[in-house]
Amino acid sequence: MKTIEYHHNLEYFSSALFDRYFGDMSFCVFDIETLGLKPGFCPVVLAGVMTVERDGSCLLTQYFAETAEDEGELLLSLEEYLNDFDCIITYNGRHFDVPFIKKRAEVCGLDGFSVKPFNLDLYLIINGHSPFRQTLKSLRQSSVEEYMGLSSGRLDEISGKESVDLYYEYLRCPDPELKESLMKKILLHNHDDLVQLYRILPVIKQTDLHSAMFSLGFPVKGEGDWPNLTVRKLNLSTKNLTVSGILPESRVGYTAYAGFSSPEQCYDCTIESDGSFQFTVPIEKLRDSLFINVKELLGDTSALEILPGHVNGFLILCQNNKRNPLEINMLARELLVKFMRETPFI
């Protein structure tokens, strides 16, 4: 396996919208190249990871399989590197890149292989929580780049299919200089995918990110000895808000009911030994609105008082039969933060 590193400078992206969910998180951009679309048969031959610092400096690292036998080493190096981050930014990575490398790890006999960071999949946000499905000719990454005026940022001139053909040609090539040239073309395609993926990140300002995070989940930074938690599902009924998710590791199961650990605890929670968790919080209903006394639930409400739905110590979660995803998401996060601060890691 060959490891290649590049150093770049890019304009660092930051916005109040993005920082509300990811401002305290470390992240990287992630993309893979494979020899087909079926992970049971088609190996991963290239994986790229790019980090971006606040000063704009970037480190782009590529793991390239020089032979088919290098795939296991590539996957192990990738696993170790990715798990240093809180979040990975992908484009269709929840349905393709991450499931693909997990299946390939299984095929290669890599027991216990896991990718722990939260997967911020821009494709799913754009596809389900923006007007672009109706306005763009397609939702391919290149179409979003074109829409944002970023097409000129690419130097590579090959498609994913052509990259596959070039790799097979690379494996057969006896000429060292030609072999190096073929490798560089393959690397450039992945390199530009990573750079361009980061450059289109500002598109989230044109999406309903709060609705996307309600539907797709979001990470919560660990407190004390707790690892990061990932909220996977939020369910709002007329009686309860249920917050379900996963943490990367858990030693034993844990269950606590309202008033069990302390008279002030106003929620039920269960953490299974596999790391899955569920918190259930009772809410109140008045006509077509659902709300909760956050002062009673959390004590410290300073993080929620700036929200539009906060009124006199109460947080409105649904109004006129329309849910408020921002308020629901932030309430879920503050509840989990409070729990971690008050509960030793199990």
Given this model, what pLDDT does residue 252 score?
65
Backbone angles phi, psi at 132, to 5 degrees: -70, -25
Given this model, what pLDDT does residue 162 score?
86
Given this model, what pLDDT does residue 161 score?
79
Burial 160-184 (b: 16+ CB within 10 A, else e): eeebbebbeebeebeeeeebeebbe
CA distances from 81 to 9, 28, 106, 225, 319 (A): 21, 10, 18, 21, 44
Per-residue pLDDT band for 190 (boundaries 50, 70, 90) equals very high
Q: In this predicted model, what pLDDT tens digit does every residue of 195-208 receive, in sequence order?
A: 999 999 999 999 99
What percent of the chain stands above pLDDT 90?
Answer: 82
Distance, in Å, from the CA atom of 343 to the CA atom of 325, rounded to the nearest integer, reads 27
Q: In this predicted model, what pLDDT tens digit does every residue of 288-303 receive, in sequence order?
A: 899 999 999 998 899 9
Torsional sign, CA 246, 251, 255, 256: negative
pLDDT at 254 over 80: no
Q: In this predicted model, what pLDDT tens digit does every residue of 80-118 receive, in sequence order?
A: 999 999 999 999 999 999 999 999 999 999 999 999 999
pLDDT at 263 over 60: no
The domains located in the chain, with CATH, are 2-209 (3.30.420.10), 217-342 (no CATH)
Higher local confidence (pLDDT), 186 or 261: 186
CA atoms in the 13 A half-sphere facing the CB of 238: 5
pLDDT at 261 over 80: no
CA distances from 316 to 143, 248, 293, 304 (A): 38, 31, 9, 11
pLDDT at 277 over 70: yes
CA distances from 337 to 63, 283, 300, 333, 342 (A): 36, 19, 11, 6, 9
pLDDT averaged over every residue in the chain = 93
Per-residue pLDDT band for 280 (boundaries 50, 70, 90) equals very high
Given this model, what pLDDT does residue 250 score?
63
Distance, in Å, from the CA atom of 162 to the CA atom of 164, rounded to the nearest integer, reads 5
Given this model, what pLDDT does residue 180 score?
95
